[in-house]
Structure 1
Amino acid sequence: MTVTAGPPRSRKPRNFPLYRTVSRFVRDPLREIERISTAAGGEIARLDLGASHPYVVTHPDHVQQVLRKESENFVRDGTFWRPLHSLFGDSIMSEYAEWELSKRILQPVFSTRTIRSLSDHMARAINEAVAQLDEPAREGRSIEVLPEMGRIVHDTVIKVLFGDKIRKAEADRLIPAMERLATSIAFRFLLPFVPRSIPLPGDRAFSAGLQVMDETLYELVDRFRYDPGEGYDIFTALCKARMTEGSGLDDNWVRDNLLAMWATSTETTTVALTWIWPMLAAHPDVTARLRAEIEAVVGDEAVRPEHLHRLPYVKQVVQELLRLYPVGWIFPRIALKDTVIGGVPVEAGQTVLISPFLTHRLESVWERPLEFDPERFTPERARARHRYAYFPFGGGPHQCIGRHVFNMEAELILTAILSRYRPEMAPTEGPVQARIGATLRPNQPLHLLLHPVQR
Structure 2
Amino acid sequence: MSLDAGTAVTMPRVLPFHRALPRLVRDPVTELSKMGTEAGGQVVRIDLGPFRPYLVSHPDHVQQVLKTDWTNFVREGMFWRPLRRVVGHSILGEGEGWASSRKILQPLFTARYTASLGEDMADIIAECIQELDDYARTGRLVDGGYQMTTIVNQAVIKVLFGGRITREASERLAPEFATCATSIGFRLLFPFVPYSVKVPGDRAFLAAVKKIDEIVYPLIEQARQEDTGSKEVVSALIRARIEQDGEADLRQVRDDLVSIYGAASETTAMSLTWLWSVLHEHPDVNARLREEIDEVVGEGPVRPEHVAKLRYLRMVLQELLRLYPSGWIIPRQTVADTEIGGVPIRAGSQVLVSPYATHRLGEFWERPLEFDPERWAPEKAENAERRHRYSYFPFGAGPHVCLGQHLFYLEAPLVIANLLSRYRPVLTNPKRLTPVPGASVRPKEKVMLRLEPVRG
Aligned to 1:128: 127
Aligned to 2:282: 283
1:124 and 1:19 map into 2 onto residues whose CA distance is 54
Aligned to 2:433: 432
**What SS does the corresponding residue of 1:160 show, helix, strand or coil?**
helix
- The answer on whether the counterparts of 1:18 and 1:25 sit within 8 Å (CA) in structure 2 is no
1:289 and 1:7 map into 2 onto residues whose CA distance is 58
2:365 and 2:95 map into 1 onto residues whose CA distance is 34
Q: Is residue 450 from structure 1 mapped to residue 451 from structure 2 by the alignment? A: yes
| TM-score (normalizing by structure 1) | 0.94
Q: Could you tell me which amino acid in structure 2 is paired with residue 451 of structure 1?
A: E
Report the Cα offset of residue 439 of structure 1: 1.1
Report the Cα offset of residue 29 of structure 1: 2.0
2:173 and 2:342 map into 1 onto residues whose CA distance is 46
Moved more, 8-17 or 225-234: 225-234
- The answer on whether the counterparts of 2:82 and 2:187 sit within 8 Å (CA) in structure 1 is yes
**What SS does the corresponding residue of 1:302 show, helix, strand or coil?**
coil
Aligned to 1:104: 103
Q: Could you tell me which amino acid in structure 1 is paired with residue 449 of structure 2?
A: L
2:343 and 2:314 map into 1 onto residues whose CA distance is 38
- The answer on whether the counterparts of 2:101 and 2:256 sit within 8 Å (CA) in structure 1 is yes
Matches within 5 A, 1:295-314: 295-314=294-313
2:164 and 2:103 map into 1 onto residues whose CA distance is 22
Moved more, 94-103 or 209-218: 209-218
1:231 and 1:19 map into 2 onto residues whose CA distance is 57
1:383 and 1:121 map into 2 onto residues whose CA distance is 36
- The answer on whether the counterparts of 2:91 and 2:259 sit within 8 Å (CA) in structure 1 is yes
Match of 2:393 among 391, 394, 397: 391
- The answer on whether the counterparts of 1:60 and 1:387 sit within 8 Å (CA) in structure 2 is yes
Aligned to 2:116: 117
Q: Deviations over 1:51-109 (max 9, x none)?
A: 22211110011101111111122111122221222221111111111011111111121
How many percent of aligned residue pairs carry the same amino acid? Answer: 48
- The answer on whether the counterparts of 1:158 and 1:165 sit within 8 Å (CA) in structure 2 is no
1:108 and 1:244 map into 2 onto residues whose CA distance is 14
**What SS does the corresponding residue of 1:87 show, helix, strand or coil?**
helix
Unaligned ranges ≥5, structure 1: 1-5
2:83 and 2:245 map into 1 onto residues whose CA distance is 29
Aligned to 1:375: 374
2:117 and 2:86 map into 1 onto residues whose CA distance is 29
* Residues 119 and 222 (structure 1), Cα distance of their counterparts in 2 relative to 1, 3 Å cut: closer
Report the Cα offset of residue 242 of structure 1: 4.4
Aligned to 2:87: 88
2:192 and 2:247 map into 1 onto residues whose CA distance is 33
2:37 and 2:442 map into 1 onto residues whose CA distance is 21
1:411 and 1:355 map into 2 onto residues whose CA distance is 26
Aligned to 2:345: 346
Aligned to 2:407: 405
1:113 and 1:130 map into 2 onto residues whose CA distance is 26
Q: Deviations over 1:315-345 (max 9, x none)?
A: 0001101111112221111121222211112
Report the Cα offset of residue 397 of structure 1: 0.6
1:385 and 1:13 map into 2 onto residues whose CA distance is 25
* Residues 269 and 327 (structure 1), Cα distance of their counterparts in 2 relative to 1, 3 Å cut: same
- The answer on whether the counterparts of 1:241 and 1:247 sit within 8 Å (CA) in structure 2 is no
- The answer on whether the counterparts of 2:159 and 2:233 sit within 8 Å (CA) in structure 1 is no
Moved more, 337-346 or 53-62: 337-346
Aligned to 2:23: 24
RMSD of aligned alpha carbons: 1.9
Q: Could you tell me which amino acid in structure 2 is paired with residue 128 of structure 1?
A: E
Q: Could you tell me which amino acid in structure 1 is paired with residue 298 of structure 2?
A: G
Q: Deviations over 1:201-226 (max 9, x none)?
A: 11111111111112222222333342
Matches within 5 A, 1:38-437: 38-244=37-243, 247=246, 250-379=249-378, 380=381, 381-428=383-430, 430-437=431-438
Report the Cα offset of residue 7 of structure 1: 6.4
- The answer on whether the counterparts of 2:14 and 2:47 sit within 8 Å (CA) in structure 1 is yes
Q: Deviations over 1:212-255 (max 9, x none)?
A: 11222222233334224322222113322444585465222122
Q: Could you tell me which amino acid in structure 1 is paired with residue 387 of structure 2?
A: R
1:194 and 1:362 map into 2 onto residues whose CA distance is 32
- The answer on whether the counterparts of 2:33 and 2:354 sit within 8 Å (CA) in structure 1 is no
Report the Cα offset of residue 346 of structure 1: 1.7
1:114 and 1:427 map into 2 onto residues whose CA distance is 40
Report the Cα offset of residue 311 of structure 1: 1.6
- The answer on whether the counterparts of 2:229 and 2:236 sit within 8 Å (CA) in structure 1 is no
**What SS does the corresponding residue of 1:15 show, helix, strand or coil?**
strand
1:306 and 1:84 map into 2 onto residues whose CA distance is 36
Aligned residues: 449
* Residues 7 and 286 (structure 1), Cα distance of their counterparts in 2 relative to 1, 3 Å cut: farther
* Residues 372 and 187 (structure 1), Cα distance of their counterparts in 2 relative to 1, 3 Å cut: same
Q: Could you tell me which amino acid in structure 2 is paired with residue 352 of structure 1?
A: V
* Residues 241 and 306 (structure 1), Cα distance of their counterparts in 2 relative to 1, 3 Å cut: closer
2:30 and 2:326 map into 1 onto residues whose CA distance is 18
1:218 and 1:412 map into 2 onto residues whose CA distance is 30
1:130 and 1:66 map into 2 onto residues whose CA distance is 41
Unaligned ranges ≥5, structure 2: none
Aligned to 1:3: none
1:180 and 1:446 map into 2 onto residues whose CA distance is 18
Q: Could you tell me which amino acid in structure 2 is paired with residue 448 of structure 1?
A: L
**What SS does the corresponding residue of 2:260 show, helix, strand or coil?**
helix
Q: Could you tell me which amino acid in structure 1 is paired with residue 110 of structure 2?
A: S
Report the Cα offset of residue 268 of structure 1: 1.5
**What SS does the corresponding residue of 2:331 show, helix, strand or coil?**
strand
Q: Could you tell me which amino acid in structure 2 is paired with residue 108 of structure 1?
A: P
- The answer on whether the counterparts of 2:296 and 2:309 sit within 8 Å (CA) in structure 1 is yes
- The answer on whether the counterparts of 2:70 and 2:398 sit within 8 Å (CA) in structure 1 is yes
2:213 and 2:221 map into 1 onto residues whose CA distance is 12
1:212 and 1:228 map into 2 onto residues whose CA distance is 25
